Amino acid sequence: MLRTLIILLTMGCFLSAPVAAQQAGPEAELVVLTRADSSVYINHNAVIPLSHGYNVYRQIGSEEWELLTSTPLYPVQNGFDLENNLGDLFEFISDEMGIDDAQRVFLSLRSSTGQNLVIHSAVPEIALQLGRAFIDEEAPVGSQVSYRFEIVDDLGRPTGQLIQGLANLTPQKPVPPKNVLAQHSSSTVTLEWYYPTRDESPETKDVIRFKTFYKDLQSGFVTDATNAVLVRRVGESEFRKYIKVPYLNREYDFWVEAFDYSGQSSGKSETIRLMIEDNVPPPIISNVEADVNENYQGVIIWPVSTELDLVG
């Protein structure tokens, strides 16, 4: 559940990039991440009032500010639209939050809480829907750039609220997890891996979560086995995930990928191949009785086993 996720993550996601003075309130902050494909992901933690939108500006060095949005962008306004836009991802988040009403999920995600800071950072699709993020597809990589969110009302008029940040646009990509190990007990696979702490490897500071995958070598299908928001935990470098595969007596490949708060993947870790078969013996027989018959022969009696894989 996400309440557990909050406890595990205290990464300080909004300390990842140099930030200039903000004007949208004392808590408003903006961070910038340049991705390997040269696009730039800009994220802020301000709550935009309902019916309000925003313009996005960019300034290269000391040049004039350039408007990047031809018209103001307006965040999603209700739970129905959020559910429709996110599809299966909405159901995933709803299950994690333990809320089955779309409007309640929407209102909860809009509030300014530590939980939502984690959700918006770990699931950037939500941040984009709620107006907490913007992607600059034509960024001047290699330059020092300022970005500005200008909040506007329902008629597109500036409200005076600004969120502004400064960063050097240097492309980066998460490093993949290492030392991946896998073992199985029948159809349940235990996947373990190593990922350095931020103190050990400062260049990993933007990585926030992991996803696990497996490939059925018989069918060729790849499955995202991430059934929870598996966040990176502060001060920990060893991680574990349990995966249940659908079929026995098949070979599978397993791997892990690290993701930063823009949703950018590290790519595959090393791949572990396992033949998944029933390697769990039947349980010990209990309630065994013994007797001697009139012919002085030993008679042993035990209940019939219901184990489907028992052969003798």
Q: 195-222 pLDDT, tens per residue?
A: 999 999 999 999 999 999 999 999 999 9
| Same-domain check for residues 192 and 236 | yes
| Same-domain check for residues 103 and 203 | no
Q: Is residue 299 part of a domain?
A: no
| Same-domain check for residues 150 and 227 | no
Query: How many domains does the structure of the chain reveal?
Result: 2
Sheet arrangement for strand 53-60: 66-67, 53-60, 144-152, 158-168
Percent of the chain with pLDDT over 90: 68
pLDDT at site 27: 60
pLDDT at site 17: 36
Percent of the chain with pLDDT over 70: 89
Residue 125 belongs to domain spanning: 2-168
Q: Is residue 302 part of a domain?
A: no
| Same-domain check for residues 122 and 256 | no
| Same-domain check for residues 192 and 158 | no
Q: CA nearest 188: which of 270, 271, 274, 255?
A: 274
- Averaged pLDDT, 246-271: 96
| Same-domain check for residues 155 and 202 | no
Q: Is residue 143 part of a domain?
A: yes
Per-residue pLDDT at 24 exceeds 70: no
| Same-domain check for residues 14 and 159 | yes
Residue type, 209: R
Torsion of CA 18, 44, 129, 49, to 10 degrees: -160
Task: Enter the DSSP assignment of 195.
Answer: -
| Same-domain check for residues 37 and 157 | yes
| Same-domain check for residues 116 and 249 | no
pLDDT at site 257: 97
Instruction: Using the CB atoms, write b or e for 135-161: b if 16+ within 10 Å.
Output: bbeebebeeebbbbbbbbeeeeeeeeb
- Strand spans (E) along the chain: 30-34, 40-44, 53-60, 66-67, 133-136, 144-152, 158-168, 178-185, 188-194, 207-216, 222-224, 230-231, 238-244, 250-260, 272-276, 289-292, 298-301
| Same-domain check for residues 10 and 145 | yes
| Same-domain check for residues 119 and 200 | no
Per-residue pLDDT at 234 exceeds 80: yes
| Same-domain check for residues 76 and 114 | yes
d(CA 295, CA 279): 41
For residue 291, what are the CA distances in angstroms to 284, 297, 299, 304, 305?
Answer: 20, 8, 5, 18, 20
Per-residue pLDDT at 159 exceeds 90: yes
pLDDT at site 310: 65
Of 266 and 4, more confident: 266
pLDDT at site 308: 62
